[in-house]
Structure 1
């Protein structure tokens, strides 16, 4: 194992920036949730995930997606604790929160955050940066530190370059130096009051690694007419697999070592079937797919891929009905000890993923096609899962909590990778 190349690093980060309105001036784990509460939290997060996924796919057609619905929801939920009135109601509805009670909201997120507090595989970090001279409201501060495990740090946003460097340095450190220069200095000024940040970094090895000698150049179909040659990984093992006729797709679960996380790949049967699959997933709970999985001998072919994704999420939030937080009517009266009119100015998201023979970090997948056998499964003739056309995937917690979600719709031919494997 010592001579293996370093594992890919995939990271996710969400930023919420709360400046003052324009007219003013240019710990220990919580109690264990009941099973029903856990299931409801997971169900609502999965629904929020597919809603965000749909909006991102519409905004960025033809691009590979990778984002962390859990990170988005976590950071926005931190903002929700300081909201009131219609702003709070819109966030409850748009984020799919199970309760309007701030204590219950905070406790529900603590269950997941506390689980990974000491994890070496999945690291989650929250932080709030506060303008010098301002203090957080005591209840808001207590909920963030106790339940969201979030520390507060004073910065001078008027010195925008220095403030951006401070925030970006924290982000870079928490994401293993993969997310750099997240916040431009131009996003900060003397009117800025708070910046809430969530960072996630995942690094995992497959339980069943893909042998490097088996990686070979193979065809990836971009659509019915266009295809390219890409390095295609291959392994034959017993995996949890399901044929999903109602989705016109197949699903495969690739577990990670020493972890309760796995990558769930959902592959449409058709080379151009991803849009139809995405639409059907809007009304199909993840649990329906995971409960259909059965241990089966599978010949898996999956392309190596890397993806980087960056987007400002304000438009996505607006499309999900969360509009008031961006306006002069926003109600964030519970954030500061001395309340001021506050509003959200930006929600910035940036992600990176690298999937190779040894493992993955975060969630992203390259466009892949599945060609599977329709016959009765036998040990002599394994089912084939050929990801050689666009597909979607979820990095999912064992209780169906989607930590990352992504899709692969295109790949770029990598001549150096192909020639390297041809020499093996």
Structure 2
């Protein structure tokens, strides 16, 4: 029988954009990656489970990194399930190298501050952590392992003081309700695409110093958010495929200031995706300690803040040029999906119902 271990995934995705958005440069067409495929699956399941009337943010990248770590620490059917759900088609060490490169890339962003903290908590009565696992976890994933009391009936908040028990999801709007909110305006050449299959429009806002960008998916209809999110997990609507359809053109952008804070138990969503054995006493997570352990929960807390101080630099006023006659207009005055992404992964994703 497997012993008890709790895994907490705490992803504090605090995003601050410190500089202006860059003018997009033509890029190569990118095929879907295993990271973007996993992100789409996770996002669709999470949107079924989470409050559809509020603002929601989550970090598919942080969840995926934790699964990559469990992939290395497992064997048997547990390993097979993690491999299938995580779309890991190569040796765990090569998967770990992918995540190490992405973590280092994220740490060197200049125009966005994106912090994430992941920790594994285990019952200290079970002994010490496997030193080889601990070294692997810290080196490739920057994830620490911490022993805690789990069998003494203690409140979880006592050993997870940073875990926020109450959700910070913003107040929501009723169907047909209108609301006044602060809008940021900009005019520049951006990537824009009509997506008739999704009944939506896509806009890409790149950050200055890297291939990182914010992708906004705006339903054409006021009540089109739920339908859009249901379709995003389909292979043909992978975010890389959507990005490949963007065309650089003159765009006048009106985007609200927005924020989203979410405290999420990811366990049910991962079970729905096919991760089952590791949450049972038959778990084959064998390399974390010197005995098999089971996972109790995977939790995530994430926050994103987008304001005019960092996201849209209103530099179009400086050159006083008139707008081209053929300029397109993108007005995000209804609920939309957002994704902070690289060409290989989705760092933060969610939806905004009420700025």
Global fold match (TM > 0.5)? yes
| Deviation digits for residues 359-407 of structure 1 (CA, Å, limit 9, x no counterpart) | 25xxxxxxxxxxxxxxxxx92241010111111111011x242111111
| Partner of residue 34, structure 2 | 44
CA distance in 2, matches of 1:351, 1:276: 24
8 A contact 1:221–1:271 mirrored in 2: no
Please, which runs of 5 or more residues in structure 1 have no aligned partner? Answer: 1-16, 21-38, 169-179, 185-219, 361-377, 412-424
- 1:307/1:94 CA distance change after superposition, 3 Å: same
| Partner of residue 22, structure 2 | none
| Deviation digits for residues 215-265 of structure 1 (CA, Å, limit 9, x no counterpart) | xxxxx9965x33222222222222121122232211111122334321100
| Partner of residue 59, structure 1 | 49
8 A contact 2:173–2:353 mirrored in 1: no
CA distance in 2, matches of 1:264, 1:221: 23
| Deviation digits for residues 270-324 of structure 1 (CA, Å, limit 9, x no counterpart) | 1122222223322212122111212211111112222221221111111111111
8 A contact 2:36–2:240 mirrored in 1: no
| Partner of residue 163, structure 2 | 181
| Partner of residue 354, structure 2 | 410
Matched, 1:137 2:90: no
CA distance in 2, matches of 1:126, 1:221: 33
| Deviation digits for residues 311-357 of structure 1 (CA, Å, limit 9, x no counterpart) | 21111111111111111111111111x21x42111121212222211
8 A contact 2:252–2:329 mirrored in 1: yes
Secondary structure at the aligned position of 2:295 is classed as coil
| Deviation digits for residues 153-207 of structure 1 (CA, Å, limit 9, x no counterpart) | 5555568879966654xxxxxxxxxxx43489xxxxxxxxxxxxxxxxxxxxxxx
| Partner of residue 107, structure 1 | 97
8 A contact 2:78–2:284 mirrored in 1: yes
- 1:302/1:117 CA distance change after superposition, 3 Å: closer
- 1:69/1:139 CA distance change after superposition, 3 Å: same
CA distance in 2, matches of 1:295, 1:85: 48
- 1:348/1:126 CA distance change after superposition, 3 Å: closer
- 1:327/1:410 CA distance change after superposition, 3 Å: same
| Partner of residue 14, structure 2 | none
- 1:253/1:118 CA distance change after superposition, 3 Å: closer
Tell me which of the two structures has the higher relative contact order, counting C-alpha pairs closer than 8 angstroms and 6 or more residues apart.
2
8 A contact 2:6–2:121 mirrored in 1: no
Map 1:335-346 to 2 at 5 A.
335-336=288-289, 338-339=290-291, 341-346=292-297
Map 1:26-175 to 2 at 5 A.
43-60=33-50, 61-99=52-90, 101-119=91-109, 121-129=113-121, 131=124, 134-155=127-148, 168=161
What is the TM-score normalised by the length of structure 1? 0.65
Measured after TM superposition, the shift of residue 63 of structure 1 is: 2.6
8 A contact 1:64–1:407 mirrored in 2: yes
| Partner of residue 5, structure 2 | 18
CA distance in 1, matches of 2:215, 2:223: 20
Matched, 1:392 2:345: no
Please, which runs of 5 or more residues in structure 2 have no aligned partner? Answer: 8-29, 167-171, 312-322
Secondary structure at the aligned position of 1:246 is classed as coil
8 A contact 1:156–1:163 mirrored in 2: no
Map 1:282-321 to 2 at 5 A.
282-283=233-234, 284-321=237-274
CA distance in 2, matches of 1:181, 1:145: 21
Question: Which among 198, 204, 215 is matched to residue 264 of structure 1?
Answer: 215
CA distance in 1, matches of 2:81, 2:100: 22
Number of residue-to-residue matches in the alignment: 308
8 A contact 2:6–2:120 mirrored in 1: no
8 A contact 1:103–1:143 mirrored in 2: no
